[in-house]
């Protein structure tokens, strides 16, 4: 079996694996020497898939009316892949959802391109900009233009560092 074939097989396993099953496969020796690039790309692929599913749900209609967005206000009536409970709904791990949340909040505050979704601090809800993004193709274009793929690793590392690091507690030389 060639090295390329082994790499392709490992990438297929990673791209299609559920988190727990991936661990079982690694333990069984099915995936070896997974690089950090593959590790991050697997997460980016999951995030991109969750965003595409979310876009489809956002623009879902019944009798010509959006069913997952409140008429007039644009408030989301469904979970998003970056919300506290939504990351699970879209098959993301918590750190991936938190990293995506950081990215979405950051890009909703920039002027160019005009935001697609924005968190309204007053009502503590996410809203969709239907005036500028009337269909899923425009929303997907926005997602591509803000470069989530390029921002993800940095955001994920920040989230992971904040989640897994804490103050060091020393038990040596404590005051009596």
pLDDT tens per residue, range 105-132? 888 887 777 889 988 888 888 999 999 9
What would the mean pLDDT of 143-153 be, rounded to a whole number? 84
pLDDT at 29: 53
Q: Does residue 171 or residue 68 have the better pLDDT?
A: 68
- Tell me whether strands 125-128 and 117-120 are parallel, antiparallel or unpaired: antiparallel
CA distance 49 to 62: 24
pLDDT beyond 70 at 167: no
Q: Write down the pTM of the prediction.
A: 0.70
Q: For the chain, give every domain's residue range.
A: 1-34, 39-164
pLDDT digits (tens, 9 = 90+) for 2-60: 445 544 555 555 555 554 455 555 555 555 556 777 888 888 889 989 999 999 999 99
Average the pLDDT over each of 64-73, 91-100, 138-147, 151-160 and give the range with the smallest value. 151-160
CA distance 52 to 171: 49
CA distance 103 to 26: 30
pLDDT at 172: 46
pLDDT beyond 60 at 159: yes
CA distance 152 to 40: 9
The confidence band for 161, taking pLDDT boundaries of 50, 70 and 90, is confident
How many angstroms separate the most distant Cα atoms in the chain? Answer: 73
The confidence band for 71, taking pLDDT boundaries of 50, 70 and 90, is confident
pLDDT at 28: 54
Share the mean pLDDT of the chain: 78
CA 172 distance to own-chain centroid: 41
């Amino acid at each position: 079996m060639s090295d390329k074939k082994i790499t392709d097989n490992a990438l297929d396993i990673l791209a299609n694996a559920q988190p727990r099953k991936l661990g079982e496969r690694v333990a069984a020796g099915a995936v070896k020497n997974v690089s950090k690039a593959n590790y991050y790309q697997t997460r980016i692929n999951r995030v991109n898939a969750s965003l595409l599913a979310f876009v489809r749900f956002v623009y879902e209609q019944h009798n010509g009316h959006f069913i997952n967005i409140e008429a007039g206000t644009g408030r989301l009536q469904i979970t998003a892949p970056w919300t506290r409970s939504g990351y699970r709904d879209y098959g993301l791990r918590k750190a991936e959802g938190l990293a995506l949340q950081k990215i979405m909040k950051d890009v909703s505050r920039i002027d160019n391109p005009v935001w697609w979704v924005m968190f309204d601090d007053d009502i503590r809800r996410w809203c969709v900009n239907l005036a500028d993004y009337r269909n899923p193709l425009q929303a997907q274009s926005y997602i591509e233009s803000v470069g989530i793929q390029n921002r993800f690793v940095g955001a994920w590392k920040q989230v992971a560092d904040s989640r897994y690091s804490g103050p060091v507690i020393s038990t040596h030389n404590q005051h009596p």
